[in-house]
Amino acid sequence: MRAPRHPWLLTAAATAVTAVFLLPVYWMVKTSLTRPERIEAPDPQWVPGPVTGENYSAALGYEGLTRALLNSLVISSGVVALTLLLGVPLAYALARVRMRGSGAMVLALLVAQLPPAIVLAAPLFILERRAGLTDTYLGLIAADTTLTLPFTVIVLRPVMRGVSPELEEAALVDGCGLPGVLLRVVLPLMVPGVVAAAGLSFLIGWGEFLFGLTLAQSPDVQPVTVLLNAFVGQHGTSWGALMATATLISVPVVCVFALFQRFIVGGLTTGSVRG
């Protein structure tokens, strides 16, 4: 498209749109920094006035919160590890090895993203209960990985195709087996892709709620998303602490996004359907 005559006018318009759009996010952070007695004033303050950390100490003072944040960290790290462990070889084989049925496998991975999480949560509840996996990190990690694994493979496969086959052939000629080729030749070349896929899986694991709600009854393993929802019910009016908690949950999301932005945008437009 041609360069517009007044590019800064467009910048102004886009800035205004973005500001209006992001008002809720601003309001979340603003509320979290406002003194509790001023939060529910009939005339909301548009700037926090004296900034305070009170809401954060109130939220963190609730013993469950640090535990839940830690649980979320454990769960989403586990999701990342399991997803990469299972997904990288799978994506590589589907990208590079001629196999019967690889078309069917790709199709299955696409279809695997269709079932709404609630349809899976119900039978998983029964089955994991029988297997003794409810109320365990493992049970939650496995459930969340059903969301991230198909997605990661779909996203990584084209990335792996991008690695020049000559390099692999050379390594194979040198007597490297396929696992060696994957570990020593392909993986180093696609570190950015794999790291970003890890970032994506982390985001999905970190934000997951339904499996946390249904498969974890004990606060020992419940993720912070479930705790936030419980807060909304219990301390429905303590908006300061709530918004502080919401902000705390959002910070890792924004950091991970800022780090891997390019790939995440590409990956999410290529991949995700289920939620």
Partner 1 sequence: MRQPSARRTRTGYLFCLPGLVFLALFLAYPLLYNVWTSVHDVDLGQLLGGAERFNGLDNYRSVTDDPAFWHSVRLSLVFTLASLLLQFTIGFALALLFARPFPLNGLLRSLLLVAWLLPPVVSGTLFRWMLDAESGAYNALLEPFGLSHDWLTDPSTSMAGVVFANVWVGVPFNMLLLLVGLHTIDPVLHEAAEIDGASAWQRFRHITLPLMRPVSVTVLLLGLLYTFKVFDLVFVMTGGGPVDATRVLSLYVYEVFFTFFRFGRGAAAGLLLLVVPLLVGVWYVRRLRREEEPAGGAV
Which residues 213-242 are close enough to bind partner 1 by CB under 8 A? 214, 225, 228-229, 232, 239, 242
- Considering only 74, 81, 178, 187, the residue that binds partner 1 (CB under 8 A) is 178
Q: Which of 58, 65, 140, 149 binds partner 1 (CB under 8 A)?
A: 149
Residues 55 and 32: beta-carbon distance below 8 Å? yes
Nearest approach, Cβ of 61 to partner 1 (angstroms)? 19
CB count in 10 Å sphere of residue 161: 13
Min dist. Cβ of residue 28 to partner 1 (A)? 5
Q: Which of 52/250 has CB closer to partner 1?
A: 250
Residue 77 interacts with partner 1 (CB under 8 A): yes or no: no
The whole-angstrom separation of Cα 137 and Cα 128 is 12
One of 203, 216, 241, 244 touching partner 1 (CB under 8 A): 203
CA-CA distance, 261 to 213, in Å (whole number)?
29
* Closest approach of partner 1 to the CB of residue 114, in Å: 4
Which tokens sit at 193?
Answer: 């892709």
> Helices in 62-190 by DSSP H: which ranges?
63-96, 102-111, 117-130, 137-161, 165-173, 178-180, 187-189
x/- mask, partner 1, residues 22-61, rule CB under 8 A, reads xxxx-xx--x-------xxxxxx-----------------
Contact pick of 70, 118, 167, 259 for partner 1 (by CB under 8 A): 118
Work out the number of other CB atoms within 10 angstroms of the CB of residue 262.
9
Tokens 């498209």 belong to which residue? 1
